[in-house]
Structures are given as structure tokens and as C-alpha cells.
Amino acid sequence: MQPTRVIGLISGTSVDGIDAALVEIIGTELDLQVELLAGETYPYPDELRERILDICAGAAVSMAELAEIDDAIALVFAQAAQNIQVGHPPATLIGSHGQTVFHRPAGSCVSGNILPNPQSLGYSLQLGRGAVVARLTGITTISNFRVADIAVGGHGAPLVPRVDAYLLSHPQESRCIQNIGGIGNVTYIPPRCDDWLTQIRGWDTGPGNSLLDLAVQHFSNGAKNYDENGKWAASGTPCYPLVEQWLSQDYFHLPPPKSTGRELFGVTYLHQCLQDSQAYQLSPADVLATITELTAASIVNSYRAFLPRMPELVLLCGGGSRNLYLKHRLELLLESVAVLTTDEVGLSAAFKEAIAFAVLAYWRQLAIPGNLPAVTGADQEVVLGEIHQVGTG
């Protein structure tokens, strides 16, 4: 079987740029194999990034402005797809997740409230039109991955657990694949057995880098966008009473399936955290250490509350996997559970999410389902993504 070259594209909740992965894929499910040929993050132009962040924070936008931003994001995604191929044989398929600017799962927690009608369908909006990406690159593009799962009653998130299952499962070992992007999400994978797919669990654990990045920007007056290696936070002392107060937030106690985003853990939430911290007279480093502790504790607490048993191994990926202080806090809270990165088992931690959307696009062409109903809450398995053929718009 000849490998298929696919490009995966995604910009996550942190809105720090487009992660692009050029991969070769062979096999389908249990025999799935992926080789990363190239991976790169392409930053957004500053003005476009700020406009995206404004929209994510709830800024008013006209339909005309929204259309312009949609096209501008598609252009940057198309350029990333073109650039990642330089020096490599061309791809024949693109899986473009786009940029999420709003996510409201049915019956989930939005702005601290439970939606009044849990039977209503959720809503998720990703900008960066797949039709434009296909037209500009000349490559068939799959986009809008979340809507098919939402249409059958799912949250539309997280969508990577099925990919995680086939790329990172183990015959004897239970594993948690913990992505730490702007929002954290986990895939729990039991040892492979006859009905192992039905035992996989996954959900958004809560804030990943989103609050930390916003706090760093606040305390540095915009001079820094993130805390490199967690050094600033590591110089402070966590305020544990404040962590316990923040962990009482409703979202952390909702059982899966559940998903969240900047709609909850965004600017408004940070301002509340900063206000709460004033009572303890915390330094900026102390606040960062306390927010880091919230991120780590929310992850570990969710394992203890919602998993059938604790995993034997936790594999970190996403930008937060490079935060050494956060990793250290996770190791201490997880006690006897080993913590590695997916790099250490052969799958790029930096580009795993982009790789996942390349695989989902590949599965879409083969009409293989991409969701896991036990994870998203959907009524059934469905193929994910809308196909935009070259020249058809």
C-alpha cells in the first residue's frame, strides 16, 4: 500500500499560530501508521491575532467583518499548507480544523451557567473556510470537523481520542494522553482488548495554557505572551486555599462528556482570579504559581473523579508539555503514575493535534468514523468533516 501524504492544520485556543504537520499515512485503524515529514508553527499576523482574541472574548462584530476575518484566517492556513510542503513531495489532502472562536456544547457550562435546555444541539464555530484553503492550495481540503458529531447529539469535542487510541494504545498498559493547549483535554485508553474502544473516555479537563498566558500578558504589560518553561511561576508560591476555591467552579464537577473553551476560561475568568488573589496579597509570581496549580490539580482531580481507574502512564502533548514547572506539579500530584511526553513514545508532542486532523481527514476520504460516542456523547459513530474538492469551491 502506498502512503498518502496529508497536511494537518490547526490553531488552538491559545491562538498562538497555525500548527502544520505534513505526514505520510498508511493503514486504516489498528494497522494505522503515521510518519511526520515536517512540522512547523506559523504565527498569525499580530493584527489578525488580536482581532481573533477580541472575538473569542465576546467583542461585537458585524457579519461583514466576520466574513473578512474568516477569509483572512483561511489565507493564513493556506499559506501554512503551502510552506510546510517546501522541500517535500506534495500532499494530496489537507485536514484543516480552522480557528475556533465560539464553542457551546449542549447542556454544558457556558459563562458559568448551565444551558436551560439540555436537549438542544450544541454549537461550535471554526473560522478559516475550507473551500478557500482548497482553492488557494489546489489540494482537496476537509474542514468543519465538529458539526457532524454535534448533529447527532455530541459535544463536537474532543475529537482526537479515536486517533490517540490507534496511535498510542498499548496491549497491557492503561494510558492517559493529556493535551495541554489553551484548554486541557484527556484521552483515557485502557489496554487493548475485544471491546476496548467502548471503554475509552475523554473530556476537556479545564484550563491548559489559556489562563497562564493571559496572566503573563497582564503582568508583563503585553511584553510576554507565555511563561517559558514555567520559570516565572516556579519562582512563586501557590496559594492552596485559592486553588481549592477555584476548584469549586461548576465545570470541574460536571461528569463527562463535557467540553469547554475561552467562553468559560478566558479573560473574564482571569479577572475574577486576579480579584480573588488580592485578598492574599500575592505577587505576580505567586499568582502564576497558583494558576499553574489550578491547571495541574484540575487535571489530576478529574482523573480521580471520572476514570474507572488511574492510568499506569500519562503522556503529555501540546504547548503545555514544554512547561517544566507544570509537568513537575503534575508528577507530584499523580504520585506513583509515570509522566512522559508523547515524543518519548514516538509521536510528536508539539504537532500531535495537527497530526490528528490529518488522520481525521484521511479517514473522512475512506468513510471511516472519526468520533467516539462514549467520549463526545453523540448518539452514534459518524464520519467527520466536509469535503472541498479542488475547483468546486
Q: What is the pLDDT of residue 110?
A: 46
Per domain, the residue ranges of the chain are 4-157+352-388, 161-345
Buried b (16+ CB within 10 A) or exposed e, 304-337: eebbeebbebbbbbbbbbbbebbbebbeebbeeb
pLDDT of residue 112 exceeding 50: no
Q: What is the pLDDT of residue 19?
A: 97
Q: What is the pLDDT of residue 111?
A: 45
The answer to whether the predicted template modeling score (pTM) of the entire model surpasses 0.95 is no
Report pLDDT digits (tens) over 87-97: 999 999 999 99
Q: What is the pLDDT of residue 390?
A: 85
pLDDT of residue 117 exceeding 90: no
pLDDT of residue 107 exceeding 80: no
Report pLDDT digits (tens) over 172-181: 999 999 999 9
What's the mean pLDDT in 272-277? 96
pLDDT of residue 108 exceeding 60: no
Cα 323 from Cα 228, distance rounded (Å): 7
User: For domain 4-157+352-388, is the CATH number 3.40.640.10?
Assistant: no
**CA 299 distance to own-chain centroid:** 14
What's the mean pLDDT in 278-303? 98
Report pLDDT digits (tens) over 181-214: 999 999 999 999 888 999 999 999 999 999 999 9
The proportion of the chain whose per-residue pLDDT surpasses 70, expressed as a percent, equals: 96
**CA 392 distance to own-chain centroid:** 30
Report pLDDT digits (tens) over 307-323: 999 999 999 999 999 99
> Among the listed ranges 55-59, 74-78, 95-99, 230-234, which one has the minimum average pLDDT value?
55-59
What's the mean pLDDT in 347-354? 97
pLDDT of residue 119 exceeding 70: no
* Mean model confidence pLDDT for the chain: 94
Name the pLDDT band for 109 (thresholds 50, 70, 90).
Answer: very low
Homologous superfamily in CATH for domain 161-345: ATPase, nucleotide binding domain (3.30.420.40)
What's the mean pLDDT in 1-9? 94
Identical fold at 4-157+352-388 and 161-345? Answer: yes
Name the pLDDT band for 391 (thresholds 50, 70, 90).
Answer: low
